[in-house]
Amino acid sequence: MDQFWENEYIQIAAYYSVVILCMVVFLAIFEAVTKYKNWEEIKKGNLAVAMATGGKIFGVANIFRASVEEHNSLLEMVGWGIYGFVLLLAGYFIFEFLTPKFKIDEEIQNDNRAVGLISLIISVGLSYVIGAGIS
């Protein structure tokens, strides 16, 4: 059985499967903390929501990329990935806190593409910093 788990193809499939599962859970958490429904807004053509959601997806994937590269066990990779996600989520709340003149969620829901783009860039940028910390 050890030989089975040492197979590179099996390891990649395991990492991939676990990251997809984590991605679904993390996107559900992001949806729970925002005032809008991501997929409903995207279906309506809300580009700001699409950009913000895309940034979150890229951010989480980039954090897990760093975690996969650095850690040798699936459990370690997931642990660091979850930690990185928590930091990314904290960055979202800090972004909201640092913009007291308007509400990020409301602006994104209203298709303010400038806010959606900044949200995307913040998620991507933070993911690089978090990924570097994990590595």
Task: Express each pLDDT in 19-75 by its tens digit.
Answer: 999 999 999 999 999 989 999 999 999 999 999 999 999 999 999 999 999 877 889
> Would you state the pLDDT for residue 7?
83
Distance CA 86, CA 14 (A): 22
> Would you state the pLDDT for residue 107?
96
> Would you state the pLDDT for residue 5?
67
> Would you state the pLDDT for residue 20?
96
How far CA 12 is from CA of 18, 19, 56, 78, 97, in Å, comes to 10, 10, 23, 14, 39
Question: Are residues 58 and 27 in contact, defined by beta-carbon separation less than 8 angstroms?
Answer: no
Instruction: Give counts: helices (H), strands (E), the chain.
Output: 7, 0
Question: Are residues 52 and 118 in contact, defined by beta-carbon separation less than 8 angstroms?
Answer: no
Tell whether the model's pLDDT for residue 91 goes beyond 70.
yes
Would the pTM of this model clear 0.85, i.e. be above it? yes
Residue 76 sits at φ, ψ, to 5 deg, of -60, -45
How far CA 5 is from CA of 1, 17, 21, 30, 97, in Å, comes to 7, 14, 19, 33, 45
Task: Express each pLDDT in 99-131 by its tens digit.
Answer: 888 899 999 999 999 999 999 999 999 999 999
Distance CA 133, CA 12 (A): 23
> Would you state the pLDDT for residue 1?
62
Distance CA 30, CA 72 (A): 28
